[in-house]
């Protein structure tokens, strides 16, 4: 490594017209075969909804492979690009219509890779929203198994009738576990 | 229906003075920033990114995590990045001065540079998005209440894909500084917001590019949330007379370095 990374800065309050686009949070049409919702709320340290946050997801296909299709910005209705972006609403909620990600490797748990941006947040945050159903795989995950139960719980999406729910706490007792990758 | 008399400049200035009384003065913010920077210098450990916990930026108080991030090795999905291609971006989106009925007001500029990884390798065919205020410091956003004019010929959002050597290039208007309510008389230095994808998910970056010599740098807690002066300087473009074109536009050069994770390289052409 010879060069130093460019510093991040907050996304600010006025990102919507720069970053939002038609179909940004619709990776697959709602109600199409295999579609689920991934949704949740972004909350600050006082438990107040963050209405000017941006959540991005990047995920495997249901078979665990990494999507290489272009077209996230102009969706064609059938390619699965694996990338989505959602602005939170007045209630701090975001929602994606997508497919269930598959495990990247057999026996490992599947997750959505998640990036969070917000006014007041000086740099992006990385996290993972793990699918809750595969206990054996979750138990064998190096990140999850190194965490105390309460911290671990912040990385597990919960299942509901329409898909998955994953709340993001920027601060506080239930603060989400955020990630740092090598070289950062 | 009542018809409200248009507020003249005096009335508007008075009401903004009334609002300002609720806000802390610049001197409070400035002394907090100075204290943090002198502590940073004394500690002698180099920081290259902004502090998430930076109280002078009041909007961050309840929005920064208080625990250290967990170190983790990227899984396969995180070693790759989303793919964007010609289908996603129209080349015209790199020119923010076109697409309206007339020419926008302000100083026409070209902003260009390379996106590279920590080893200097180009990030090819990747998406760069920008958004910014107009020349008067006003965003086309319903939450922007700054009483400066909107420009009917300027929206201020653009996109492009980096080329085979990692170059991006935008033509736009130099944005104006604008006020915000962090404290009394808070003004953001002129900046362009950048959103950049790397060769891996882990390299994702959203940041702001500034213009050289801005007198507002010293007063701005967002810029100063990067406590290291050399690191802050990395967000400032360089005026490049070689990029400036005759009777047309001023040229600025700004390179972007993305690190983190173990990027997976895709051959040039595979993305396009
Ligand atoms: Fe801004």
Coil, strand or helix at A157? coil
Please return the burial class of A161, using the count of CB atoms within 10 Å of its CB with bins 0-12, 13-18 and 19+.
exposed
Q: Average of pLDDT values for B245-271? A: 76
Which residues of chain B are within 8 Å of residue A17 when distances are taken between CB atoms?
Answer: 131, 139-141, 155-157
Q: How many Å is the Cα radius of gyration of chain A?
A: 16
Least confident of A1-5, B47-51, B104-108: A1-5
Q: Taking 80 as the threshold, does the pLDDT of residue B132 lie above it? A: yes
What are the structure tokens assigned to A160, written together? 């509901």
pTM above 0.90, yes or no: yes
Other C-beta atoms within 10 Å of B256: how many?
A: 23
Nearest chain B alpha carbon to A118: B63
Q: Taking 80 as the threshold, does the pLDDT of residue B266 lie above it? A: no
- CB proximity list for B237: less than 8 A, separation 6 or greater: B111, B113, B209, B210, B211, B212, B252, B253, B254
pLDDT in tens, A72-87: 999 999 999 999 999 9
Minimum-distance CB partner of A121 among B60, B84, B117: B60
What are the structure tokens assigned to B266, written together? 């895709």
Distance, in angstroms, between B246 CA and closest chain A CA? 30
Contact yes or no for B141 and A16 at CB 8 A: yes
| Alpha-carbon gap, residue A173 to A155, rounded angstroms | 14
Q: Is residue B223 within 8 Å of B210, Cβ to Cβ? A: yes
Local structure of residue B93 (DSSP, 8 states):
G
Beta bridge partners of B256: B115
| Alpha-carbon gap, residue A9 to A11, rounded angstroms | 6
Q: Is residue B207 within 8 Å of A7, Cβ to Cβ? A: yes
Q: Taking 50 as the threshold, does the pLDDT of residue B94 lie above it? A: yes
Cα of B181 vs centre of ligand 1, distance in Å, is: 13
Domain residue ranges of chain A, discontinuous segments joined by +: 15-169
Neighbours of ion ligand 1 (CB under 5 A): A 12
pLDDT in tens, A133-145: 899 999 999 999 9
What are the structure tokens assigned to B152, written together? 């009917």
Q: Taking 60 as the threshold, does the pLDDT of residue B3 lie above it? A: no
pLDDT in tens, B11-65: 555 556 666 668 999 999 999 999 999 999 999 999 999 999 999 999 999 999 9
Q: Which of A58, A55, A87, A84 is nearest to A170 (CA)?
A: A55
Other C-beta atoms within 10 Å of B67: how many?
A: 11
ipTM of model: 0.97
For strands B205-210 and B191-196, give the pairing: antiparallel
Q: Is residue B177 within 8 Å of B171, Cβ to Cβ? A: no
Cα of A53 vs centre of ligand 1, distance in Å, is: 15
Q: Is residue B229 within 8 Å of B87, Cβ to Cβ? A: no
Chain B within 8 Å of A173 (Cβ-Cβ)?
no
Nearest chain B alpha carbon to A183: B260
Q: Taking 90 as the threshold, does the pLDDT of residue B219 lie above it? A: yes
What are the structure tokens assigned to A32, written together? 């199409």
Look-up: residue for tokens 């010609």? B86
Model confidence at B4, in pLDDT bands (50, 70, 90)? very low
- CB proximity list for A158: less than 8 A, separation 6 or greater: A132, A164, A165, A166
pLDDT averaged over chain B?
A: 91
What are the structure tokens assigned to B135, written together? 């020349």
Report CA A60 to chain centroid distance, whole Å: 12
CATH superfamily name and code, A15-169? Aromatic compound dioxygenase (2.60.130.10)
pLDDT of residue A184: 87
End-to-end, the C-alpha distance of chain A in Å comes to 11
Chain A within 8 Å of B217 (Cβ-Cβ)?
no
Contact yes or no for A6 and B256 at CB 8 A: yes
């Amino acid at each position: 490594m010879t060069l130093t990374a460019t510093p991040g800065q907050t996304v600010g309050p006025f990102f919507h017209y720069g970053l939002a686009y038609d179909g940004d949070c619709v990776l697959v049409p709602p109600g199409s075969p295999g579609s689920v919702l991934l949704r949740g709320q972004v909350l600050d340290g006082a438990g107040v909804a963050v209405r000017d946050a941006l959540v991005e997801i990047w995920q495997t296909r249901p078979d665990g492979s990494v999507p290489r299709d272009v077209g996230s910005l102009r969706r064609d209705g059938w390619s699965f690009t694996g990338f989505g972006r959602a602005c939170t609403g007045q209630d701090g909620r975001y929602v994606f219509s997508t497919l269930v990600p598959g495990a990247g490797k057999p026996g490992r748990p599947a997750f959505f890779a998640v990036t969070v941006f917000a006014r007041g947040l000086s740099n992006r945050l990385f996290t993972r929203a793990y699918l809750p159903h595969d206990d054996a795989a979750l138990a064998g995950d190096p990140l999850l198994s190194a965490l105390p139960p309460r911290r671990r719980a912040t990385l597990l999406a919960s299942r509901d009738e329409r898909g998955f729910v994953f709340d993001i706490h920027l601060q506080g007792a239930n603060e989400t576990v955020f990630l740092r990758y090598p070289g950062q | 229906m009542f018809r409200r008399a248009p507020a003249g400049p005096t009335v508007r200035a008075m009401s903004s003075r009334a609002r300002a009384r609720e806000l802390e003065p610049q001197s409070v913010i400035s002394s907090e920033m100075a204290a943090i920077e002198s502590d940073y210098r004394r500690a002698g450990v180099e920081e290259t990114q902004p502090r998430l916990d930076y109280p002078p930026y009041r909007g961050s108080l309840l929005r920064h995590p208080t625990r250290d991030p967990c170190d983790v090795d990227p899984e396969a999905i995180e070693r790759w990045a989303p793919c964007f291609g010609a289908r996603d971006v129209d080349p015209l989106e790199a020119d923010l001065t076109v697409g309206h009925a007339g020419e926008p007001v302000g100083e026409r500029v070209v902003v260009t540079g390379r996106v590279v990884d920590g080893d200097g390798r180009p990030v090819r065919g990747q998406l760069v998005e920008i958004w910014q205020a107009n020349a008067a410091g006003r965003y086309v956003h319903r939450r922007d209440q700054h009483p400066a004019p909107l420009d009917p010929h300027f929206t201020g959002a653009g996109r492009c894909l980096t080329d085979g050597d990692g170059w991006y290039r935008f033509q736009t208007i130099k944005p104006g500084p604008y006020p915000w309510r962090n404290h009394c008389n808070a003004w953001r230095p002129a900046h362009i917001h950048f959103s950049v994808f790397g060769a891996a998910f882990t390299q994702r970056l959203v940041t702001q590019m500034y213009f050289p010599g801005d007198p507002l740098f010293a007063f701005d807690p967002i810029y100063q949330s990067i406590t290291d002066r050399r690191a802050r300087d990395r967000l400032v473009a360089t005026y490049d007379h070689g990029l400036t074109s005759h009777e047309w536009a001023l040229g600025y050069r700004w390179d972007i370095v993305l690190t983190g994770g173990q990027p997976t390289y895709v051959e040039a052409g595979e993305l396009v």
